[in-house]
Homo-oligomer: A and B are copies of this chain.
Amino acid sequence: MPQVKEITASELDTKQFIKEKSEEIARIVGKGTAINALSGGVDSSAVTMLGHKALGERLKTYFIDNGIMREGEPQQIVSIFKKLGVKVEIINAQDEFFAALKGITDPEEKREAITQTFYKKVFGRLVKESGAKHLLQGTILTDVDETVAGIKRQHNVFEQLGIDPQEAFGYKIIEPLVQLRKDGVRKVAEACGLPEATFNRMPFPGPALSARVIGEATREKISLVRKATVIVEQELAKSGAFQYMAILHNDRVTGMRDNKREFGQQIEIRCWDTIDARKASPTRLDFKALEKLADRMVSEVPGVVSVTYNIATKPPSTMEAI
């Protein structure tokens, strides 16, 4: 992997960066077309804006609805871009993703099933159908570091897309954010006119809510953790924390309803304070806030009889459970 020259957030001149990168995209794509997948996260949102600036309608942006997004998320994201004059097409691929997740309990296999379905099945098909030879990706420097460190696996993206690298001559990946880290990307996103809900968006994992379900991510479990996520995001919006989440456990624990034993479900809440996401500690939330969270979970999320709060630091924990 070639050495990438980092641009730190403090040395970043956003105006200059946006100008250079959109010119670069325009130059590379020439008279052709490009395609990208928007997840709604800050990286892919910034890339969408840069690509749109460079190519206008010649950039085709898709939002792939995998069925494991948060409540109302696909519509919200499309609406944000609509206001900025960027058309995003929603692809309903829920059935394909749930079929791929069926029966899978191992976290790595779950990630892999989502990755494969995203690249090979859904996005791969879109790329091929579009005829676009250029693909915009929101890779950032931290992704590169983690690939080198062996935390994330390095992929040949076109191979992932089911496009034979031999036949695929001419296909090109454009990664305009690869010199930046998250803080730099946020600055670029803001300068591109994206709203604060996007440029300061809390990190959300690629495997979305399936990363918040331990064990098999069925439609039913995703629906439960989606409800729990709404509660956590409402209650902790003003916590000032870096990231907060609800995790639905696979383990069953004993509960009691109407004086009868009920083997119910457990929700774990995590809320993280961190400077650089490399080390993090649980936010010292007020006990009243914790109790309110627990009360809402057991009364609003069907089948939940138990709620916990994460108290371990990263490391040895990670921020996400999966």
Contacts and interface: CB of A to CB of B under 8 A. Distances in A.
A322 interface: yes
A257 B321 contact: no
Interface in A137-168: 149-151
Contact of A307 (B264, B305, B311): B311
A308 B214 CA distance: 15
A320 interface: yes
Given A214-B251, A264-B316, A293 B309 contact: no
Q: How large is the interface on A (under 10, 10 to 19, 20 to 34, 35 or more residues)?
A: 35 or more
A315 interface: yes
Interface in A241-255: 249-255
Contacts of A307: 310-312, 317
A306 interface: yes
A1 interface: no
A254 B107 contact: yes
Question: A-B pairs with the 8 shortest C-beta distances?
Answer: A308-B308, A307-B312, A284-B287, A294-B311, A305-B316, A294-B312, A253-B321, A256-B315
15 contacts: A214-B251, A250-B250, A251-B251, A253-B317, A255-B315, A281-B291, A282-B294, A293-B311, A294-B312, A295-B313, A305-B312, A306-B310, A307-B310, A307-B311, A309-B309
